[in-house]
Structure 1
Amino acid sequence: MKFSTAVVFAAAAFSVVVAPPPPSKPAPKFPMVRLAKRFELPGDGKTKLPDLDRARAAVHLGLDLHLGIKRDGKTSSTLATNAATIYTASVGVGSPATEYNLIIDTGSANTWIGAGQPYQQTSTSRDTGETVQVAYGSGFFSGEEYIDQVTIADNLVIDKQSIGVADKSAGIYNADGILGIGPAILTTGSTPSHREIPTVTDNLAASGAISNNAVGIFFAPTTEADTTGVLTWGGADPAYYTSKPRYVPVTRTRPASAYWGIDQSIMYHNQTLMPLSAGIVDTGSTLLLLATDIFKAYKSATGGQEDAATGLLKITNEQYAGLSNLDFVIGDNTFSLTPNAQIWPRYLNTALGGDANAIYLIAADMGAPSGRGMDFINGYTFLERFYTIYDTTNSRVGFAETEYTYSEAN
């Protein structure tokens, strides 16, 4: 099976394709696939990047509806899947397999196709007779549930995987659907039976194809030569991190506990911006989202001002020179975003409608106050600086530094 290493940036009405050769890496200890990166915004000329992430966060905060808990006599299935920065992998469905370009999402758990290339039924396809639907921040999909053979890589084949086949979808751009690797509880409520559907990771572990029900994810800043991501199945690949992985248990605080949720505090220049609080680690969010009161404290500490064109905080060159590390205390360890890691990649400023020479910060207002069980979302702009491990077997999340943790690429 071939996996794309092209990197596609699509914003508004233009796209740029960059395909640098990946640097040589030691042979992986675990099965892995390379992920292609895409950057995109809706072409309406109005939607700003923070708006997309806030829409996703609003859905995450409304998790009780997704789990089928009634409010005002209504139930809803809600998962967030859209973001401006996405990573995709080529995944085969059926036998012989048709290749689909699927978004890798730790913030959802359903796997579905049909947003782009239509589903091709083969001898391994079986319609379960159930409908499936997922609503998210600015779109949805609905269709039929099938059981089919799914091929992640030549040595990673799932004989019977639940997949959604969309007959209607919105909010997914330049991809065929989603490969959800969040906790399986997130699938509850997506079908009329409200059953929990095993994820692709669950099924790979159950079949013995991988030794542990875990995945490791490596990203890199978009301006580095190594622009592809890597998803490792079954554990952490030491070829992609430079410090010992440190693990913390999944938080017990709802609704973050249903996701890859952790407890962390945030410090800036010896000031506590956020005491120990629950939130989530999410590849489907682009920015670092902070509860409104925490965001205001960060805004005050940095001197940033909201930019009307991009919706991001904008700082001067002098303010950038005075930035301190933004420290995330996770368990007994501190993971720092350097000043450079706190700013949006400047060569992508115009893709957001911003000034090419301006400096924008990657922290944004979540749109809700703290104390609701999800005070932060560590999105892609955080994750590109660290290797992360999502370990279902031990109900924990791991973090390690990479060669790009202290990069000055932005």
Structure 2
Amino acid sequence: MKFPFKAFLSILFVVLPSADASPLRRDTGKATLSFAARVNARGAVNVADADRARAQAMKQAGSMGKRAGRSSFTIANGVVTYTAQVGIGSPATEYTLLIDTGSSNTWLGASAPYNPTSTSVDTGNTVSVSYGSGKFSGEEYTDTVTLSTGLVIAEQYIGVASSADGFDGVDGILGVGPADLTEGTVSNVNTVPTVTDNLYSQGIIGTETLGIYFVPPSVPDSAGELTFGGHDGSKTTSSVTYFPLTTTTPASYYWGIDQSISYGHSTILSETAGIVDTGTTLILIASDALSKYQTATGATMDETTGLLMITSGQYDKLKTLTFKIGGQAYGLTPNAQIWPRSLNADIGGASDSIYLIVGDIGSNSGSGLDFINGYAFLQRYYSVFDTTNNQVGFATTPHTDATCN
């Protein structure tokens, strides 16, 4: 499956069945779906440019405020992908949908046509969503959505595209972001419930939370998990600590938190608002903070990859990069600060070079969205997105201090 890079902004993974007969595991009001990273070796991809474009689009959309037709954003780049086979209707037709925590509309019809069944109801409302370099519009339906055995949602709002641009190779999106991101996208309604909303309201899960377990792609067993209705304690090595969502806009329209960042003993970004985003590959920080980080590490900019590059001698001297959230410190070791060297070729880099995974968000601090803790952070810490209590949580995992890169 080929995903045109210009159609997307950021990172994806492929949902694959586990070794069991079913990829779903249930445990008292929660359900876990396994997935595994799959690398698409398609030549050079400037990950930094893609991430920065996504960040700027999210800032612009968030600054528009509610009821302004705010855009949502997919999670994709040309290096790693993830999708899910989702059943729609009864009997169900399977569609290949992108799993996206950065948007909240679930829709299909970009490739395979919608197959209405006895459970399909046309609401008469129209739907339109822009994803930066991709967009769709069409009719809003309700229908039965089957994520897996035991995860069957009745009367889920879905968009059926009559026009879709930028989604070659997939049928649409399974949106699992905050429900407010649907505001202004469907006519005659304020917002529409997400699949997570309905899993909770229909009693399928016990709390409206989504736990995400990423694994560094350089780890031999790179299987990860999405857990609806809680988190999987077998994947963590500490308890989950929760933090309230930020009230600062535009970060508050997403999974936003307040944090500061230090390198060694020096603060490079004072406490400010930003977001946690599975759809961003790197860790993006404000331009003035990145300048301090670059000076401290001695890195130079590599124009091909768009990433900061260091020598092996500079790598040996790297200090811990610490994210302080609500008084709790989350550190990235030197190994966690570098791009997996086994994937250098996939971003157009040299096999023997060392690239840093901290990039420029594209504006100085004070914008209201001064950092993005992306996949490079989340592959070292388990994350929980809790709609019920308006909070985000983190826990350590066996990979927090791994030297796999």
- TM-score, normalization by structure 1: 0.88
- Higher mean C-alpha displacement, 102-111 vs 80-89: 80-89
Q: 1:37-76, aligned counterparts within 5 Å?
A: 37-39=37-39, 48-62=46-60, 63-65=62-64, 67-69=66-68, 76=69
Q: Give the secondary structure class of the aligned counterpart of 1:349.
A: helix
Q: 1:96-135, aligned counterparts within 5 Å?
A: 96-135=91-130
Question: Once the 2 structures are TM-superposed, how far is the Cα of residue 46 of structure 1 from its aligned partner?
Answer: 7.8
Could you say if the C-alpha distance between residues 240 and 68 of structure 1 is closer, same or farther in structure 2, counting changes exceeding 3 Å? same
Instruction: Tell me, yes or no, if the aligned pair for 1:82 and 1:138 is still in contact at 8 Å.
Output: no
Q: In 2, Cα distance between the equivalents of 1:65 and 1:194?
A: 19
Is 1:150 the equivalent of 2:145?
A: yes
Question: Once the 2 structures are TM-superposed, how far is the Cα of residue 284 of structure 1 from its aligned partner?
Answer: 1.1
Partner of 1:79: 72
> Structure 1 counterpart of 2:269, which letter?
M
**Which of the residues 288, 295, 306 maps onto 2:283?**
288
Could you say if the C-alpha distance between residues 193 and 293 of structure 1 is closer, same or farther in structure 2, counting changes exceeding 3 Å? farther
Q: Deviations over 1:125-162 (max 9, x none)?
A: 11222221211232222222111111122111111111
Question: Once the 2 structures are TM-superposed, how far is the Cα of residue 170 of structure 1 from its aligned partner?
Answer: 3.3
Q: Give the secondary structure class of the aligned counterpart of 1:90.
A: strand
Q: In 1, Cα distance between the equivalents of 2:175 and 2:336?
A: 27
Partner of 2:350: 355
> Structure 2 counterpart of 1:388, which letter?
S
> Structure 1 counterpart of 2:352, which letter?
N
Partner of 1:93: 88
Q: 1:229-248, aligned counterparts within 5 Å?
A: 229-248=224-243
Could you say if the C-alpha distance between residues 218 and 298 of structure 1 is closer, same or farther in structure 2, counting changes exceeding 3 Å? same
Q: Deviations over 1:15-39 (max 9, x none)?
A: xx9989769x9x7633111124344
Q: Give the secondary structure class of the aligned counterpart of 2:56.
A: helix
Partner of 2:272: 277
Question: Once the 2 structures are TM-superposed, how far is the Cα of residue 214 of structure 1 from its aligned partner?
Answer: 0.6
Q: 1:232-381, aligned counterparts within 5 Å?
A: 232-381=227-376
> Structure 2 counterpart of 1:51, which letter?
D
Partner of 2:11: none
Question: Once the 2 structures are TM-superposed, how far is the Cα of residue 364 of structure 1 from its aligned partner?
Answer: 1.0
Partner of 2:31: 31
Could you tell me the percent identity over the aligned residues? 50
Q: Give the secondary structure class of the aligned counterpart of 2:365.
A: coil
Report how many aligned residue pairs link the two structures: 390
Q: Give the secondary structure class of the aligned counterpart of 2:37.
A: strand
Q: Deviations over 1:276-332 (max 9, x none)?
A: 111111111111111111111111111111111111111111111111111111112
> Structure 2 counterpart of 1:67, which letter?
K
> Structure 2 counterpart of 1:48, which letter?
N
**Which of the residues 164, 179, 182 maps onto 2:177?**
182
Gaps of 5+ in 2: 6-13
Question: Once the 2 structures are TM-superposed, how far is the Cα of residue 64 of structure 1 from its aligned partner?
Answer: 3.5
Could you say if the C-alpha distance between residues 54 and 324 of structure 1 is closer, same or farther in structure 2, counting changes exceeding 3 Å? same
> Structure 1 counterpart of 2:395, which letter?
A
> Structure 2 counterpart of 1:278, which letter?
A
- Higher mean C-alpha displacement, 107-116 vs 232-241: 107-116
Instruction: Tell me, yes or no, if the aligned pair for 1:215 and 1:236 is still in contact at 8 Å.
Output: yes
Could you say if the C-alpha distance between residues 313 and 230 of structure 1 is closer, same or farther in structure 2, counting changes exceeding 3 Å? same
- TM-score, normalization by structure 2: 0.89
Q: Which segments of structure 1 move beyond 6 Å, counting only runs of 4 or more? A: 8-12, 17-23
Is 1:212 the equivalent of 2:214?
A: no
Q: Give the secondary structure class of the aligned counterpart of 2:188.
A: coil
> Structure 2 counterpart of 1:59, which letter?
A
- Higher mean C-alpha displacement, 31-40 vs 388-397: 31-40
> Structure 2 counterpart of 1:31, which letter?
A
Q: Give the secondary structure class of the aligned counterpart of 1:202.
A: helix
Instruction: Tell me, yes or no, if the aligned pair for 2:88 and 2:94 is still in contact at 8 Å.
Output: yes
